[in-house]
Amino acid sequence: MFRLILGVLALAVAALPAGAIEEPKYQVVRKVGAIEVRSYPAILVAETTVTGDFADAGDDAFRPLFGYISGKNTKAQEIAMTAPVIQEGQKIAMTAPVIQEGKGGTYVVQFVMPATFTLETLPKPTDPKVSVREVPGRTVAVIRYSGRWTQSNYDENLALLRAEMSKAGLTATGDPIWARYDDPFTLWFNRRNEIMIPIAGV
């Protein structure tokens, strides 16, 4: 059933004009080797927490999050789909979020909300598995890559990002954040994936 819903969503997104999917605004502070340093303003997200494999977390989280933007909220209001879908690993009973932890990991998966909303105007979820909140503005180091949504692809590019940060003297202030911009029907070599690590202001 989930695959059918996801397929319907993918077809709907594909029918939109190019550039119609809203993405969070940011400023490129500088480029360092293969990475960018970006400054993001505060954003609003709807999020849910799932436990399981790295590759399955997005699938498991999709149903409640898609339900929320489809009208399962206090205003029965449909909310436009945006990009990216964000996945962060969570260290249970220690710190949160993010490190991708493989099997048995706990992940926070987020849909970014359209910029037209404020925390006051954003409808509240009626599904207790979904919550909404503001993510404060932050500066992040980012690596962009294509390919399949696999743990090995993620790990390889995370290692590259950390190596570039080390060479540039950038200090991490948080754990990695995985961002996916495309639907599952986008060919793997055309997919836009990013890993972001919060850093001290530069």
Is the confidence at residue 47, as pLDDT, over 50? yes
pLDDT, residue 19, reads: 52
Cα–Cα dist 156/160, whole Å: 7
Q: What is the pLDDT of residues 131-176, one digit of tens each?
A: 999 999 999 999 999 999 898 999 999 999 999 999 999 999 998 9
Q: Which domains does the chain have, with CATH numbers?
A: 2-198 (3.20.80.10)
Is the confidence at residue 25, as pLDDT, over 70? yes
pTM of the model: 0.82
Burial 127-148, CB ≥16 within 10 A → b, else e: eeebebeebeebbbbbbbbeee
pLDDT, residue 14, reads: 44
Q: Where residue 53 falls among pLDDT bands split at 50, 70, 90?
A: confident
Which pair of tokens denotes residue 35? 């990475």
> Residue 49: which of 103, 89, 104 has the closest Cα?
89
pLDDT, residue 63, reads: 93
Token pair 């996801």 is at which residue? Answer: 6
Cα–Cα dist 155/88, whole Å: 14
Is the confidence at residue 16, as pLDDT, over 90? no
pLDDT, residue 90, reads: 56
Pairing relation of β-strands 43-52 and 138-145?
Answer: unpaired
Q: What is the pLDDT of residues 76-127, one digit of tens each?
A: 999 999 999 999 975 433 333 332 333 348 899 999 999 999 999 999 999 9
